[in-house]
Amino acid sequence: MNSADVFDVIIAGAGSVGTPSAYFMAKAGLKVLVIDPLPSTGQASNKHAIGGVRATHSDPAKIYLCAKSIDILSSWQETTGDDIEWQRGGYSFVAYNPQVKSTLIDLLAVQKGLGLNIDWLDRNQFIDLVPDINPEGLLGGTFSPDDGSASPLKCSFSFYSQAEKMGARFHFNERILAVEAQGGRIQGVRTDAGSYACRFFLNAAGSWAGPLAATSGIDLPVKPDSHEAGITEAVQPLFSPMIVDIRERPGSANFYFYQHPSGKIIFCVTPNPQVYGIHDQDSSSFLPLACQRLVEIMPKLANCRVRRTWRGSYPMTPDGSPILGKVPGFEGYLLAVGMCGQGFMLGPGVASLMTSLVTDALTAEQNACLETLRLDRQFTGVEKLK
């Protein structure tokens, strides 16, 4: 095999996880190849993301990883010169019933203990933060001002271009046919365009991670789940944080929305029941459901016109948390899969962790994340802030 086709790491997927992983690994001095069947970076789930980035979770591992992502994204323009539209608007989980209020307040001790800048706001304080919130039945909510948003497309392209500057190679329009191994050790990959050798293979293939792993006899509990989002016309500045309503409603498990710097309102519903499979056609049920929830929380938006809706897939795991780290019994095969619709916000933090794993430089916090999110866990936990 030509030496040009020998790599330290081959990454499957040039999306929210694979592309930043290529950047950090190449920056660490590794020879990296990224292979993706689509024409360019970020063309699968990444371009369907709405851009929110929060460390406000219930799981300590996700809190750590997303806090790392915020550190990276908030300083990205200063570090690279690339504008990714980072906006530190914060996140607000709003409570309109005692059950949600109890859940949010109970989580504060864990979140604060892990260093999150977050507090409970009573009803009047919340109205001061978001003056146009529906006051009827409002009990208050949490506010974490360090969370924010960025452009998924600009982030993806910036990570890609910066990774290339660091020496990473990207092969687009190329499909992996087999991950080759010998004696339980990764040897390389075979694609529809050639063969390449590597020491490590990172499966970061998003909604296609399961079928790819299956070609190597690995059973991944990852199933794609379809979600829809929409965007309105631009309106005057009304509020800063992403607003999340975790109440269940007929047809929806939760609802969240924020105002983009351009003035447009971007919103998304988590369907209930889940809609499994990879679907890219809008449904007729989404917009009436989403608009009803939007106007319920912020009545002032009742006459705001919707400009576009779209649909993408969330690679879901049974417990709502990703699967990271080594495959037991398969040396050199690494997983960064099952981001459960949070790949954009988890991506940079996961990329940093996977780079530390490959370079044998894991911190205690990163080791703890890998232990919690390993493939052979029981999947009995539940993410309370989906």
Q: For residues 94 and 243, is the Cβ–Cβ distance under 8 A?
A: yes
Q: How confident is the model at residue 79 (pLDDT cuts 50, 70, 90)?
A: very high
Indicate whether 240 and 199 sit together in one domain: no
Return the HEC string of 108-144: HHHHHHCCCCCEEEEHHHHHHHCCCCCCCCCCEEEEE
Indicate whether 300 and 235 sit together in one domain: yes
For residue 383, how many other CB atoms are within 10 A of its CB?
15
Q: What tens digit of pLDDT does each residue of 243-260 get? A: 999 999 999 999 999 999
Out of 297, 316, 335, a domain closes at 316
**Quick check: is 68 in a domain?**
no
Indicate whether 365 and 274 sit together in one domain: no
**Quick check: is 174 in a domain?**
yes
Indicate whether 297 and 228 sit together in one domain: yes
**Quick check: is 52 in a domain?**
yes
CATH number at residue 51: 3.50.50.60
Out of 296, 316, 336, a domain closes at 316
- Using alpha carbons, select from 201, 224, 212 the residue that is nearest to residue 339: 224
Strand partners, 272: 251
pLDDT greater than 80 at residue 69: yes
Indicate whether 228 and 194 sit together in one domain: no
Could you give the CA distance from residue 78 to residue 76 in angstroms, rounded to a whole number?
5
**Quick check: is 64 in a domain?**
no
Percentage of the chain beyond pLDDT 70 is: 99
Q: What tens digit of pLDDT does each residue of 305-355 get? A: 999 999 999 999 999 999 999 999 999 999 999 999 999 999 999 999 999
Indicate whether 164 and 252 sit together in one domain: no
**Quick check: is 81 in a domain?**
no
DSSP sequence for 22-69: HHHHHHTT--EEEE-SSSSTTTTGGGG---EE----SSHHHHHHHHHH
Indicate whether 163 and 306 sit together in one domain: no
Q: What is the mean pLDDT of residues 179-186?
A: 96
Indicate whether 237 and 131 sit together in one domain: yes
E-state strands within the chain: 6-12, 32-35, 52-53, 91-95, 119-122, 140-144, 148-149, 169-171, 176-182, 185-191, 195-203, 223-234, 242-245, 251-259, 264-272, 306-316, 323-327, 330-337
Q: Which three-class secondary structure state does DSSP give residue 305?
A: coil
Q: What total number of domains does the chain contain?
A: 2
The b-or-e profile of 89-119 (16+ CB within 10 A means b, else e) is bbbbbbbbeeebbeebeebeeebeeeebebe
Percentage of the chain beyond pLDDT 90 is: 96
Q: What tens digit of pLDDT does each residue of 103-127 get? A: 999 999 999 999 999 999 999 999 9
- The domain of 129 spans 88-147+223-316
What rounded mean pLDDT belongs to the chain?
96
CATH number at residue 98: 3.30.9.10
Out of 294, 316, 338, a domain closes at 316
Indicate whether 228 and 218 sit together in one domain: no
Indicate whether 266 and 251 sit together in one domain: yes
Q: What is the mean pLDDT of residues 368-385?
A: 92
**Quick check: is 210 in a domain?**
yes
Could you give the CA distance from residue 354 to residue 360 in angstroms, rounded to a whole number?
10
Strand partners, 316: 223
Beta-carbon contacts of residue 335 (< 8 Å; ≥ 6 apart): 202, 203, 209, 213, 220, 323, 324, 325, 326, 327, 375
Indicate whether 239 and 354 sit together in one domain: no
pLDDT greater than 80 at residue 3: no
**Quick check: is 125 in a domain?**
yes
Q: What tens digit of pLDDT does each residue of 195-218 get? A: 999 999 999 999 999 999 999 999
Q: Which three-class secondary structure state does DSSP give residue 274?
A: coil
**Quick check: is 12 in a domain?**
yes
Indicate whether 215 and 241 sit together in one domain: no
Q: What tens digit of pLDDT does each residue of 31-57 get? A: 999 999 999 999 999 999 999 999 999
Whether pTM exceeds 0.95: yes
DSSP state of 384: S
pLDDT greater than 90 at residue 381: no
